[in-house]
Structure 1
Amino acid sequence: MHDDEFTTREMLQDNSVISVANEQWVFFSSHLEVDTQVSSVPQLYINELDFIFNLSLDEETSELKIHHHNKDVDLHVRCHHYLTLNLARYRAADAKKGVLPANQGWVNTEQLVKDLGVDMRYLNIQIHRARKQFSEVLTNVHDAENIIERQLRKVRFAGASFMIYKGCELESTSDVARTRKNSITI
Protein backbone atom coordinates (compact mmCIF):
# COMPACT_ATOMS: atom_id res chain seq x y z
CA MET A 1 0.00 0.00 0.00
CA HIS A 2 1.12 3.51 -0.70
CA ASP A 3 0.39 6.68 1.25
CA ASP A 4 -1.40 8.19 -1.75
CA GLU A 5 -4.13 5.54 -1.48
CA PHE A 6 -5.31 7.10 1.79
CA THR A 7 -6.09 10.64 0.74
CA THR A 8 -9.69 10.68 1.96
CA ARG A 9 -10.13 10.92 5.72
CA GLU A 10 -13.65 10.47 7.01
CA MET A 11 -15.05 9.58 10.37
CA LEU A 12 -15.85 5.88 10.43
CA GLN A 13 -19.38 5.01 11.38
CA ASP A 14 -21.23 1.72 11.58
CA ASN A 15 -21.87 0.23 8.11
CA SER A 16 -19.30 2.50 6.43
CA VAL A 17 -17.80 0.83 3.36
CA ILE A 18 -14.02 0.95 3.23
CA SER A 19 -11.88 0.16 0.21
CA VAL A 20 -8.43 -1.20 0.95
CA ALA A 21 -6.16 -2.76 -1.71
CA ASN A 22 -9.02 -3.15 -4.16
CA GLU A 23 -11.15 -4.94 -1.59
CA GLN A 24 -14.25 -3.57 0.05
CA TRP A 25 -14.91 -3.94 3.75
CA VAL A 26 -17.86 -2.96 5.93
CA PHE A 27 -17.01 -1.38 9.27
CA PHE A 28 -18.93 -2.45 12.39
CA SER A 29 -17.93 -0.96 15.72
CA SER A 30 -18.09 -3.20 18.73
CA HIS A 31 -20.51 -2.14 21.43
CA LEU A 32 -19.51 -4.96 23.72
CA GLU A 33 -16.34 -3.37 25.07
CA VAL A 34 -16.09 -2.69 28.77
CA ASP A 35 -15.44 0.87 29.82
CA THR A 36 -11.80 1.49 30.60
CA GLN A 37 -11.23 1.66 34.31
CA VAL A 38 -8.61 3.84 35.85
CA SER A 39 -6.51 1.65 38.07
CA SER A 40 -5.41 2.86 41.45
CA VAL A 41 -1.75 3.75 41.22
CA PRO A 42 0.20 3.56 44.46
CA GLN A 43 0.88 7.06 45.70
CA LEU A 44 3.12 6.52 48.70
CA TYR A 45 6.46 4.95 49.44
CA ILE A 46 7.36 2.88 52.50
CA ASN A 47 9.79 5.55 53.71
CA GLU A 48 6.92 8.08 53.93
CA LEU A 49 5.09 6.02 56.55
CA ASP A 50 5.51 6.14 60.33
CA PHE A 51 5.38 2.71 61.97
CA ILE A 52 4.30 2.64 65.60
CA PHE A 53 4.90 -0.63 67.42
CA ASN A 54 3.25 -1.33 70.76
CA LEU A 55 4.78 -4.24 72.63
CA SER A 56 3.57 -5.65 75.94
CA LEU A 57 6.02 -5.69 78.83
CA ASP A 58 6.33 -9.48 78.61
CA GLU A 59 6.81 -9.22 74.82
CA GLU A 60 3.95 -11.65 74.25
CA THR A 61 1.71 -9.20 72.40
CA SER A 62 2.80 -6.92 69.57
CA GLU A 63 0.60 -4.44 67.78
CA LEU A 64 1.38 -2.23 64.80
CA LYS A 65 -0.15 1.02 63.62
CA ILE A 66 0.92 2.95 60.56
CA HIS A 67 0.55 6.70 60.45
CA HIS A 68 0.64 9.04 57.45
CA HIS A 69 -0.82 12.54 57.01
CA ASN A 70 -3.00 12.39 60.13
CA LYS A 71 -4.41 8.99 59.14
CA ASP A 72 -3.84 5.82 61.11
CA VAL A 73 -4.02 2.29 59.81
CA ASP A 74 -4.37 -0.24 62.61
CA LEU A 75 -2.85 -3.60 61.73
CA HIS A 76 -3.94 -4.93 65.14
CA VAL A 77 -2.15 -7.56 67.19
CA ARG A 78 -0.44 -10.22 65.06
CA CYS A 79 2.37 -12.69 65.75
CA HIS A 80 4.34 -11.52 62.72
CA HIS A 81 4.50 -7.97 64.12
CA TYR A 82 6.98 -9.27 66.69
CA LEU A 83 9.31 -10.28 63.85
CA THR A 84 8.87 -6.89 62.15
CA LEU A 85 9.45 -5.10 65.45
CA ASN A 86 12.67 -7.01 66.05
CA LEU A 87 13.86 -6.16 62.55
CA ALA A 88 13.17 -2.51 63.39
CA ARG A 89 15.28 -2.96 66.54
CA TYR A 90 18.21 -4.17 64.42
CA ARG A 91 17.77 -1.11 62.22
CA ALA A 92 17.72 1.21 65.24
CA ALA A 93 20.87 -0.43 66.66
CA ASP A 94 22.69 0.06 63.35
CA ALA A 95 21.58 3.71 63.21
CA LYS A 96 23.05 4.29 66.69
CA LYS A 97 26.34 2.82 65.44
CA GLY A 98 26.37 5.31 62.56
CA VAL A 99 25.63 2.80 59.80
CA LEU A 100 24.32 4.48 56.65
CA PRO A 101 20.52 4.13 56.16
CA ALA A 102 20.95 1.96 53.04
CA ASN A 103 22.87 -0.59 55.13
CA GLN A 104 20.88 -0.41 58.36
CA GLY A 105 19.06 -3.37 59.78
CA TRP A 106 20.35 -6.22 57.65
CA VAL A 107 20.54 -9.38 59.72
CA ASN A 108 21.52 -12.90 58.78
CA THR A 109 18.48 -15.19 58.89
CA GLU A 110 20.41 -17.77 60.93
CA GLN A 111 21.13 -15.10 63.55
CA LEU A 112 17.49 -13.98 63.51
CA VAL A 113 16.28 -17.55 63.99
CA LYS A 114 18.62 -17.89 66.96
CA ASP A 115 17.62 -14.52 68.47
CA LEU A 116 13.89 -15.21 68.15
CA GLY A 117 14.13 -18.84 69.24
CA VAL A 118 12.28 -20.17 66.19
CA ASP A 119 13.18 -22.42 63.28
CA MET A 120 13.79 -21.29 59.70
CA ARG A 121 10.44 -22.63 58.48
CA TYR A 122 8.55 -20.59 61.11
CA LEU A 123 10.60 -17.49 60.27
CA ASN A 124 9.72 -17.81 56.58
CA ILE A 125 6.01 -18.22 57.43
CA GLN A 126 6.12 -15.06 59.56
CA ILE A 127 7.86 -13.10 56.79
CA HIS A 128 5.23 -14.30 54.32
CA ARG A 129 2.36 -13.33 56.65
CA ALA A 130 3.80 -9.88 57.31
CA ARG A 131 4.37 -9.17 53.63
CA LYS A 132 0.89 -10.43 52.75
CA GLN A 133 -0.82 -8.24 55.34
CA PHE A 134 1.11 -5.15 54.28
CA SER A 135 0.35 -5.65 50.59
CA GLU A 136 -3.35 -6.29 51.26
CA VAL A 137 -3.83 -3.35 53.62
CA LEU A 138 -1.47 -0.80 52.08
CA THR A 139 -2.66 -0.89 48.49
CA ASN A 140 -1.65 2.74 47.95
CA VAL A 141 2.00 2.08 48.87
CA HIS A 142 4.67 1.17 46.29
CA ASP A 143 6.27 -2.19 47.06
CA ALA A 144 4.24 -2.67 50.25
CA GLU A 145 4.96 -6.40 50.06
CA ASN A 146 8.65 -5.58 50.49
CA ILE A 147 8.21 -4.13 53.96
CA ILE A 148 10.53 -6.95 54.92
CA GLU A 149 13.34 -6.89 52.40
CA ARG A 150 15.34 -9.98 51.55
CA GLN A 151 18.79 -10.59 50.19
CA LEU A 152 20.73 -13.82 50.09
CA ARG A 153 20.35 -15.19 53.67
CA LYS A 154 19.61 -11.71 55.04
CA VAL A 155 16.46 -9.73 55.86
CA ARG A 156 15.61 -6.27 57.18
CA PHE A 157 12.70 -3.99 57.98
CA ALA A 158 12.27 -1.49 55.13
CA GLY A 159 10.54 1.25 57.13
CA ALA A 160 12.69 4.29 57.80
CA SER A 161 10.47 5.96 60.39
CA PHE A 162 9.38 3.96 63.41
CA MET A 163 8.76 4.15 67.12
CA ILE A 164 8.77 1.16 69.45
CA TYR A 165 6.83 1.33 72.69
CA LYS A 166 7.28 -1.39 75.29
CA GLY A 167 4.49 -1.09 77.81
CA CYS A 168 3.84 2.63 77.57
CA GLU A 169 7.50 3.61 77.47
CA LEU A 170 9.30 4.63 74.30
CA GLU A 171 11.99 1.99 73.88
CA SER A 172 13.44 2.96 70.54
CA THR A 173 12.91 5.30 67.64
CA SER A 174 14.50 5.96 64.29
CA ASP A 175 16.17 9.26 63.48
CA VAL A 176 13.47 9.94 60.89
CA ALA A 177 10.74 9.37 63.49
CA ARG A 178 12.47 11.81 65.83
CA THR A 179 12.26 14.54 63.20
CA ARG A 180 8.58 13.78 62.53
CA LYS A 181 7.74 13.23 66.19
CA ASN A 182 5.51 16.27 66.49
CA SER A 183 3.27 15.09 63.67
CA ILE A 184 2.77 11.55 64.98
CA THR A 185 -0.25 10.91 67.14
CA ILE A 186 -0.83 7.65 68.92
Structure 2
Amino acid sequence: MALIKNLQTEEIVVLFSVHNFGRGKHNRTIIPGNDISKSHAVVSFVNNAWFLADQSSNGTLIKGRRINHLSMKLAAGNQIQFGQEQDTIWLVLNVNPPICFLESLAENKEIIELSSYSAYPNEESPEVSFYRTADTKWHVDNGLQTIALTHGQNLFFADREWCFYENEVLDQTLCIPEISIETHFLFSLSVDEEEVAIKIQINNLELDLGQHTYNQVLLALARKRQADLEEGCQETELGWISMEKLTSLLGKELLKEIDNYYVNLQIHRLRKRLMELNPFGHLLSNVIERRNGELRFEHNNFRINKENAIGSFN
Protein backbone atom coordinates (compact mmCIF):
# COMPACT_ATOMS: atom_id res chain seq x y z
CA MET A 1 0.00 0.00 0.00
CA ALA A 2 1.11 3.54 -0.68
CA LEU A 3 1.85 5.85 2.25
CA ILE A 4 2.31 9.59 2.59
CA LYS A 5 3.65 11.46 5.62
CA ASN A 6 2.93 14.97 6.84
CA LEU A 7 6.33 16.59 7.33
CA GLN A 8 5.18 18.77 10.22
CA THR A 9 2.78 16.57 12.19
CA GLU A 10 4.45 13.28 11.10
CA GLU A 11 0.99 11.81 10.52
CA ILE A 12 1.10 8.86 8.12
CA VAL A 13 -1.84 8.29 5.78
CA VAL A 14 -2.65 5.26 3.64
CA LEU A 15 -3.58 6.24 0.10
CA PHE A 16 -6.85 4.77 -1.13
CA SER A 17 -7.25 3.85 -4.79
CA VAL A 18 -9.23 7.10 -5.15
CA HIS A 19 -8.20 9.58 -2.46
CA ASN A 20 -9.66 13.09 -2.16
CA PHE A 21 -7.86 15.99 -0.48
CA GLY A 22 -9.37 19.35 0.41
CA ARG A 23 -11.04 21.62 2.93
CA GLY A 24 -14.51 20.06 2.58
CA LYS A 25 -15.70 17.45 5.05
CA HIS A 26 -16.42 14.99 2.23
CA ASN A 27 -12.70 14.50 1.58
CA ARG A 28 -10.86 11.42 2.79
CA THR A 29 -8.05 13.66 4.03
CA ILE A 30 -9.23 17.07 5.23
CA ILE A 31 -6.73 19.92 4.93
CA PRO A 32 -7.83 23.13 6.68
CA GLY A 33 -6.77 26.54 5.40
CA ASN A 34 -8.26 29.50 3.56
CA ASP A 35 -6.04 28.87 0.55
CA ILE A 36 -7.18 25.24 0.31
CA SER A 37 -10.12 24.51 -1.99
CA LYS A 38 -13.07 22.44 -0.78
CA SER A 39 -12.13 19.81 -3.37
CA HIS A 40 -8.45 20.52 -3.83
CA ALA A 41 -6.96 17.40 -5.46
CA VAL A 42 -7.54 13.73 -6.17
CA VAL A 43 -4.86 11.06 -5.99
CA SER A 44 -5.76 7.86 -7.83
CA PHE A 45 -4.17 4.59 -8.88
CA VAL A 46 -4.41 4.19 -12.66
CA ASN A 47 -2.54 1.78 -14.95
CA ASN A 48 -0.30 0.59 -12.11
CA ALA A 49 0.80 4.10 -11.13
CA TRP A 50 -0.30 6.88 -8.79
CA PHE A 51 -1.39 10.24 -10.21
CA LEU A 52 -2.38 13.51 -8.56
CA ALA A 53 -5.00 15.59 -10.37
CA ASP A 54 -5.30 19.18 -9.15
CA GLN A 55 -8.84 20.61 -8.93
CA SER A 56 -8.09 23.72 -6.89
CA SER A 57 -8.18 27.46 -7.39
CA ASN A 58 -4.57 28.03 -6.27
CA GLY A 59 -2.88 24.90 -7.57
CA THR A 60 -0.70 22.24 -5.92
CA LEU A 61 3.09 22.04 -5.68
CA ILE A 62 4.74 18.72 -6.58
CA LYS A 63 8.55 18.63 -6.39
CA GLY A 64 8.42 22.43 -6.28
CA ARG A 65 6.45 22.64 -9.52
CA ARG A 66 2.99 24.17 -9.40
CA ILE A 67 0.26 22.38 -11.32
CA ASN A 68 -3.24 23.79 -11.72
CA HIS A 69 -6.03 21.65 -13.17
CA LEU A 70 -3.40 19.26 -14.45
CA SER A 71 -2.35 15.72 -13.54
CA MET A 72 1.12 14.48 -12.58
CA LYS A 73 2.51 11.02 -11.88
CA LEU A 74 3.81 10.54 -8.34
CA ALA A 75 7.04 8.86 -7.27
CA ALA A 76 8.53 7.92 -3.92
CA GLY A 77 10.29 10.91 -2.37
CA ASN A 78 8.03 13.50 -4.01
CA GLN A 79 6.85 16.36 -1.81
CA ILE A 80 3.26 17.51 -2.26
CA GLN A 81 2.27 20.96 -0.96
CA PHE A 82 -1.41 21.86 -1.02
CA GLY A 83 -1.20 25.34 0.55
CA GLN A 84 1.14 27.99 1.92
CA GLU A 85 1.40 26.58 5.44
CA GLN A 86 4.06 24.03 6.37
CA ASP A 87 1.46 21.59 7.69
CA THR A 88 0.12 21.16 4.14
CA ILE A 89 3.34 19.50 2.94
CA TRP A 90 3.29 15.73 2.53
CA LEU A 91 6.07 13.32 1.55
CA VAL A 92 5.32 10.31 -0.65
CA LEU A 93 6.91 7.40 1.22
CA ASN A 94 6.21 4.76 -1.42
CA VAL A 95 4.06 4.12 -4.48
CA ASN A 96 3.00 0.54 -3.80
CA PRO A 97 -0.37 -0.59 -5.23
CA PRO A 98 -3.46 -0.16 -3.03
CA ILE A 99 -4.45 -3.14 -0.90
CA CYS A 100 -7.22 -3.96 1.56
CA PHE A 101 -6.16 -3.51 5.18
CA LEU A 102 -7.14 -3.32 8.83
CA GLU A 103 -6.24 -0.37 11.02
CA SER A 104 -6.17 -0.45 14.80
CA LEU A 105 -8.34 2.17 16.45
CA ALA A 106 -5.84 2.30 19.32
CA GLU A 107 -3.37 5.14 19.61
CA ASN A 108 -0.58 3.34 17.76
CA LYS A 109 -2.74 2.94 14.59
CA GLU A 110 -1.21 -0.45 13.73
CA ILE A 111 -1.97 -1.57 10.17
CA ILE A 112 -2.42 -5.13 8.89
CA GLU A 113 -2.12 -5.50 5.12
CA LEU A 114 -4.32 -8.28 3.76
CA SER A 115 -2.85 -10.61 1.19
CA SER A 116 -4.98 -13.38 -0.35
CA TYR A 117 -4.81 -15.12 3.04
CA SER A 118 -3.64 -13.52 6.28
CA ALA A 119 -3.41 -14.72 9.87
CA TYR A 120 -2.94 -12.65 13.04
CA PRO A 121 -0.77 -12.46 15.06
CA ASN A 122 1.10 -15.15 13.08
CA GLU A 123 0.57 -18.39 11.19
CA GLU A 124 1.85 -20.54 14.05
CA SER A 125 -0.75 -19.28 16.54
CA PRO A 126 -3.53 -17.57 14.59
CA GLU A 127 -6.17 -15.86 16.70
CA VAL A 128 -8.04 -14.75 13.59
CA SER A 129 -7.57 -15.33 9.87
CA PHE A 130 -8.72 -13.36 6.85
CA TYR A 131 -9.42 -14.83 3.45
CA ARG A 132 -11.27 -14.20 0.21
CA THR A 133 -14.07 -16.30 -1.17
CA ALA A 134 -14.88 -16.92 -4.84
CA ASP A 135 -17.02 -13.76 -4.99
CA THR A 136 -13.88 -11.73 -4.00
CA LYS A 137 -15.45 -10.79 -0.65
CA TRP A 138 -13.24 -10.73 2.44
CA HIS A 139 -14.17 -12.92 5.41
CA VAL A 140 -12.78 -13.22 8.92
CA ASP A 141 -12.62 -16.51 10.82
CA ASN A 142 -12.35 -15.99 14.59
CA GLY A 143 -12.51 -19.65 15.53
CA LEU A 144 -16.24 -19.48 16.34
CA GLN A 145 -17.78 -18.15 13.15
CA THR A 146 -16.93 -16.64 9.80
CA ILE A 147 -18.06 -13.09 9.10
CA ALA A 148 -18.30 -11.38 5.71
CA LEU A 149 -16.57 -8.01 5.94
CA THR A 150 -17.77 -4.68 4.58
CA HIS A 151 -15.87 -1.44 4.15
CA GLY A 152 -15.63 0.49 7.42
CA GLN A 153 -16.71 -2.45 9.58
CA ASN A 154 -15.25 -2.61 13.09
CA LEU A 155 -13.85 -5.84 14.56
CA PHE A 156 -12.50 -6.74 17.97
CA PHE A 157 -9.52 -9.07 18.36
CA ALA A 158 -6.11 -9.04 20.02
CA ASP A 159 -7.65 -6.99 22.88
CA ARG A 160 -8.44 -3.99 20.70
CA GLU A 161 -10.77 -2.67 18.06
CA TRP A 162 -9.91 -2.57 14.36
CA CYS A 163 -11.52 -1.17 11.24
CA PHE A 164 -11.58 -2.99 7.90
CA TYR A 165 -10.99 -0.96 4.73
CA GLU A 166 -11.54 -2.09 1.16
CA ASN A 167 -8.82 -0.51 -0.91
CA GLU A 168 -7.99 -1.92 -4.30
CA VAL A 169 -8.62 -1.54 -7.99
CA LEU A 170 -10.65 -4.43 -9.40
CA ASP A 171 -10.81 -5.07 -13.13
CA GLN A 172 -14.43 -4.47 -14.09
CA THR A 173 -14.18 -7.23 -16.71
CA LEU A 174 -12.71 -9.76 -14.30
CA CYS A 175 -14.38 -13.12 -14.89
CA ILE A 176 -14.56 -15.42 -11.89
CA PRO A 177 -15.29 -18.97 -13.03
CA GLU A 178 -18.27 -20.74 -11.48
CA ILE A 179 -16.41 -23.86 -10.48
CA SER A 180 -18.27 -24.98 -7.36
CA ILE A 181 -20.75 -27.16 -9.28
CA GLU A 182 -17.93 -28.72 -11.33
CA THR A 183 -15.75 -29.43 -8.30
CA HIS A 184 -15.40 -32.91 -6.79
CA PHE A 185 -13.42 -33.85 -3.69
CA LEU A 186 -11.93 -37.35 -3.75
CA PHE A 187 -10.89 -38.81 -0.38
CA SER A 188 -8.56 -41.83 -0.53
CA LEU A 189 -8.14 -43.69 2.78
CA SER A 190 -5.69 -46.41 3.76
CA VAL A 191 -7.02 -49.63 5.36
CA ASP A 192 -6.45 -48.31 8.89
CA GLU A 193 -7.46 -44.75 7.86
CA GLU A 194 -4.22 -43.36 9.24
CA GLU A 195 -3.42 -42.00 5.78
CA VAL A 196 -5.93 -39.70 4.11
CA ALA A 197 -5.16 -38.21 0.70
CA ILE A 198 -7.42 -35.63 -0.92
CA LYS A 199 -7.59 -34.60 -4.56
CA ILE A 200 -9.84 -31.90 -5.97
CA GLN A 201 -11.10 -32.57 -9.49
CA ILE A 202 -12.37 -29.70 -11.64
CA ASN A 203 -13.31 -31.02 -15.08
CA ASN A 204 -9.99 -32.34 -16.44
CA LEU A 205 -7.93 -30.47 -13.86
CA GLU A 206 -6.75 -32.14 -10.65
CA LEU A 207 -5.46 -30.31 -7.58
CA ASP A 208 -3.63 -32.43 -5.02
CA LEU A 209 -3.94 -31.59 -1.33
CA GLY A 210 -1.60 -34.47 -0.54
CA GLN A 211 -1.55 -36.14 2.88
CA HIS A 212 -1.68 -33.73 5.80
CA THR A 213 -3.18 -33.67 9.27
CA TYR A 214 -5.91 -31.24 8.22
CA ASN A 215 -7.21 -33.93 5.85
CA GLN A 216 -8.54 -35.76 8.92
CA VAL A 217 -10.60 -32.70 9.85
CA LEU A 218 -11.98 -32.40 6.33
CA LEU A 219 -12.77 -36.14 6.26
CA ALA A 220 -14.70 -35.98 9.54
CA LEU A 221 -16.75 -33.05 8.24
CA ALA A 222 -17.37 -34.78 4.89
CA ARG A 223 -18.62 -37.90 6.68
CA LYS A 224 -21.01 -35.81 8.76
CA ARG A 225 -22.38 -34.24 5.58
CA GLN A 226 -22.67 -37.67 3.96
CA ALA A 227 -24.66 -38.99 6.94
CA ASP A 228 -26.99 -35.99 6.79
CA LEU A 229 -27.45 -36.43 3.03
CA GLU A 230 -28.46 -40.05 3.57
CA GLU A 231 -30.95 -38.97 6.24
CA GLY A 232 -32.48 -36.40 3.89
CA CYS A 233 -31.64 -33.30 5.92
CA GLN A 234 -32.46 -29.89 4.48
CA GLU A 235 -29.63 -28.20 2.59
CA THR A 236 -29.35 -25.40 5.15
CA GLU A 237 -28.73 -27.94 7.93
CA LEU A 238 -26.50 -30.39 6.05
CA GLY A 239 -23.21 -31.29 7.70
CA TRP A 240 -23.24 -28.97 10.69
CA ILE A 241 -21.39 -30.30 13.75
CA SER A 242 -20.45 -28.56 16.98
CA MET A 243 -16.80 -27.94 17.74
CA GLU A 244 -17.21 -29.99 20.91
CA LYS A 245 -18.45 -33.05 19.01
CA LEU A 246 -15.82 -32.62 16.31
CA THR A 247 -12.92 -32.50 18.77
CA SER A 248 -14.30 -35.56 20.54
CA LEU A 249 -14.66 -37.44 17.25
CA LEU A 250 -11.17 -36.52 16.08
CA GLY A 251 -9.72 -37.48 19.45
CA LYS A 252 -11.11 -40.99 19.04
CA GLU A 253 -9.91 -41.24 15.44
CA LEU A 254 -6.40 -39.92 16.12
CA LEU A 255 -6.06 -41.53 19.57
CA LYS A 256 -5.00 -38.30 21.26
CA GLU A 257 -6.54 -35.33 23.00
CA ILE A 258 -7.86 -32.74 20.55
CA ASP A 259 -8.91 -29.21 21.50
CA ASN A 260 -10.40 -26.23 19.68
CA TYR A 261 -6.99 -24.70 19.08
CA TYR A 262 -5.83 -27.83 17.26
CA VAL A 263 -8.85 -27.85 14.95
CA ASN A 264 -8.62 -24.11 14.23
CA LEU A 265 -4.93 -24.45 13.42
CA GLN A 266 -5.64 -27.27 10.96
CA ILE A 267 -8.36 -25.21 9.27
CA HIS A 268 -5.93 -22.31 8.99
CA ARG A 269 -3.32 -24.58 7.37
CA LEU A 270 -5.90 -26.03 4.99
CA ARG A 271 -7.01 -22.60 3.78
CA LYS A 272 -3.41 -21.49 3.36
CA ARG A 273 -2.69 -24.60 1.28
CA LEU A 274 -5.75 -23.98 -0.89
CA MET A 275 -4.54 -20.45 -1.58
CA GLU A 276 -1.28 -21.94 -2.88
CA LEU A 277 -2.99 -24.39 -5.27
CA ASN A 278 -3.10 -22.78 -8.70
CA PRO A 279 -5.14 -21.98 -10.63
CA PHE A 280 -8.42 -22.42 -8.72
CA GLY A 281 -7.50 -23.35 -5.16
CA HIS A 282 -8.21 -19.87 -3.84
CA LEU A 283 -11.81 -20.13 -5.04
CA LEU A 284 -12.37 -22.96 -2.54
CA SER A 285 -11.25 -21.03 0.53
CA ASN A 286 -14.70 -21.34 2.11
CA VAL A 287 -14.79 -25.14 1.88
CA ILE A 288 -15.26 -25.17 5.67
CA GLU A 289 -18.08 -22.94 6.89
CA ARG A 290 -18.77 -21.78 10.44
CA ARG A 291 -21.76 -20.56 12.41
CA ASN A 292 -22.00 -19.98 16.17
CA GLY A 293 -19.49 -22.62 17.23
CA GLU A 294 -20.47 -25.13 14.52
CA LEU A 295 -18.62 -26.20 11.37
CA ARG A 296 -19.44 -28.01 8.15
CA PHE A 297 -17.92 -29.20 4.87
CA GLU A 298 -19.44 -26.95 2.23
CA HIS A 299 -19.53 -29.22 -0.87
CA ASN A 300 -22.02 -31.91 -1.86
CA ASN A 301 -19.80 -33.35 -4.60
CA PHE A 302 -17.37 -35.72 -2.92
CA ARG A 303 -16.47 -39.39 -2.77
CA ILE A 304 -14.77 -41.35 0.00
CA ASN A 305 -12.76 -44.39 -1.14
CA LYS A 306 -11.16 -46.77 1.32
CA GLU A 307 -8.36 -49.19 0.48
CA ASN A 308 -9.21 -52.83 1.20
CA ALA A 309 -6.95 -55.59 2.49
CA ILE A 310 -5.68 -56.51 -1.01
CA GLY A 311 -4.68 -52.95 -1.85
CA SER A 312 -7.56 -51.85 -4.08
CA PHE A 313 -10.11 -49.14 -3.28
CA ASN A 314 -13.79 -49.55 -2.57
Match of 1:97 among 231, 242, 245: 231
Match of 1:119 among 252, 259, 269: 259
Task: Trace 1:2-41 onto structure 2 (pairs within 5 A).
Answer: 25=68, 27=70, 30=73
**% identical equivalent positions:** 32
Determine helix, strand or coil for the equivalent of 1:64.
Answer: strand
Matched, 1:76 2:207: no
1:31: how far off?
A: 8.9
Amino acid at match of 1:119: D
Instruction: For structure 1, list consecutive stretches of 5 or more residues without a partner in the other structure.
Output: 1-19, 171-186
Match of 2:240 among 106, 123, 140: 106
| Residue of structure 2 in register with 1:146 after alignment | 286
Amino acid at match of 1:93: A
Determine helix, strand or coil for the equivalent of 1:163.
Answer: strand
Normalized against structure 1, the TM-score is what? Answer: 0.68
Amino acid at match of 1:103: E
Determine helix, strand or coil for the equivalent of 1:105.
Answer: coil
Match of 1:136 among 252, 276, 297: 276
Deviations 1:130-180 (A, max 9, x none): 12212332553675221111111100011220001111434xxxxxxxxxx
After TM superposition, where is structure 1 displaced by more than 6 Å over at least 4 residues in a row?
20-24, 31-34
| Residue of structure 2 in register with 1:63 after alignment | 197
Deviations 1:50-86 (A, max 9, x none): 0001111111111110001111111111110111011
| Residue of structure 1 in register with 2:221 after alignment | 87
Between Structure 1 and Structure 2, the one with more helix by share is 1
Cα distance in 2 for partners of 1:129, 1:46 equals 21
Q: Which shifted more, 89-98 or 137-146?
A: 137-146
Q: Identify the structure with bigger relative contact order (alpha carbons < 8 Å, sequence gap 6+).
A: 1
Cα distance in 1 for partners of 2:204, 2:179 equals 16
Aligned residues: 151
Cα distance in 2 for partners of 1:101, 1:83 equals 21
CA contact (8 A) 2:289 2:295 kept: yes
Residues 1:128 and 1:31: Cα distance change in structure 2 (over 3 Å): closer
Cα distance in 2 for partners of 1:125, 1:31 equals 42
1:116: how far off?
A: 0.8
Cα distance in 1 for partners of 2:58, 2:268 equals 61
Instruction: For structure 2, list consecutive stretches of 5 or more residues without a partner in the other structure.
Output: 1-55, 60-66, 76-94, 97-168, 252-257
Residues 1:30 and 1:164: Cα distance change in structure 2 (over 3 Å): same
1:45: how far off?
A: 4.2
Cα distance in 2 for partners of 1:83, 1:111 equals 12
Structure with greater Cα Rg:
1
Cα distance in 1 for partners of 2:236, 2:288 equals 14
Amino acid at match of 1:153: G
| Residue of structure 2 in register with 1:48 after alignment | 182
CA contact (8 A) 1:83 1:126 kept: yes
Between Structure 1 and Structure 2, the one with more strand by share is 2
